[in-house]
Amino acid sequence: MNPETELPAYPFSALVGQPRLQQALLLAAVDESLGGVLISGPRGTAKSTAARALAALLPGAPFVTLPLAASLEQLVGTLDVEDVLRDGRLRFKPGLLARAHGGVLYVDEVNLLPDALVDALLDAAASGVHTVERDGISERHASRFVLVGTMNPEEGELRPQLLDRFGLSVVIANPADTAARQAILRARLAFDRDPQRVLAEHAAHDAALAQAVATARARLDTVDVGDAALARAADLAHAAGVDGLRADLVMLRAARALAALDGRDAVRVQDVDAVADDALLHRRRHPAPPPAVRPEAPPPPPASGSGGDGDWGALPPQPAGFETASLPGTWRPKA
């Protein structure tokens, strides 16, 4: 038996050294239409711990894990056509998207999933609804959840088209020094030794965060996004060389969620700056360096052996013929 399954979820406010990840998760919880959070980092950096902690922070929120070997029907659900033909009643067998409604859908190693599953996940995360169609019959159900995907870059990357569909992206690195490692170890060992005591110590802080998220959700649509914030988002996206306008929209929505979480009625330019890296990190294109300027060739030195008049009778070099060398084997460019 895995001992971790016997422990309650780690307190969200007890996470050590991950303020940027905590902010991204809270913003995705405030506005589920952001498209979720992609967490990239090496193994053992508490990616799944943070996702479970977020679900525990939200009252009554289910935490649903998508297995790596899941089928598309397991994810989206299916319509039982045999029941329709037998008694005329439509029965929908819900999948993981329906089960995750109102909670957190966690996908470990999302970069190893088939593209069809990733597409379905991201569509539902962005729209909040999902439609199952089979043999001319369709069923539409609510599917609003916080999508948290994790990946280890050493095991492969996501296609750029799928990366762009994630709202926010956070890269987690190994602890920078031994002091940071020690702080994380102390916190984890204390929780393993006496989880109820640690939960009690952070209960008030977690309850305040949960209330802040609920209040921010309720006031989100009333938060004003002014021209200054809009111009800042456009400038940052343009400077990053991103394709399309999704990055601009994500920045503004995340900034609006941040303002709502802070209890403000308008988005500031500082809010856009605070979320810009997480919205642009996985969309930024590195511009190609300008072509090198080839220096002009220096004039040829005067020919020797003819005095100061030069070798006026010399002919210019004549082109020589050449043959193309055949290389053994067939060279193929890297994909």
Rounded CA separation 246/160 (Å)? 13
Positions marked catalytic: 246
The CA-to-CA distance between both ends of the chain, in Å, stands at 43
Distance of CA 335 to the CA centre of its chain: 24
Distances (CA, A) of 269 to 140, 236, 258, 265, 313: 39, 11, 12, 13, 74
Cβ proximity of 247 and 237 under 8 Å: yes
Distances (CA, A) of 240 to 102, 159, 166, 252, 287: 34, 19, 17, 16, 9
Distances (CA, A) of 317 to 75, 303, 314, 320, 321: 72, 13, 9, 9, 13
Cβ proximity of 137 and 153 under 8 Å: no
Rounded CA separation 64/105 (Å)? 5
Count CA within 13 A, CB hemisphere, residue 225. Answer: 21
**Which pairs from 72-77 meet CB under 8 Å and 24+ separation?**
72/116, 72/117, 72/120, 75/117, 75/120, 75/121, 76/120, 76/130, 76/132, 77/130, 77/132, 77/139, 77/141
User: Phi/psi zone of residue 128: left (φ > 0), alpha (ψ -120 to 50 degrees), beta?
Assistant: left
Helix (H) or strand (E) holding 105: strand 104-107
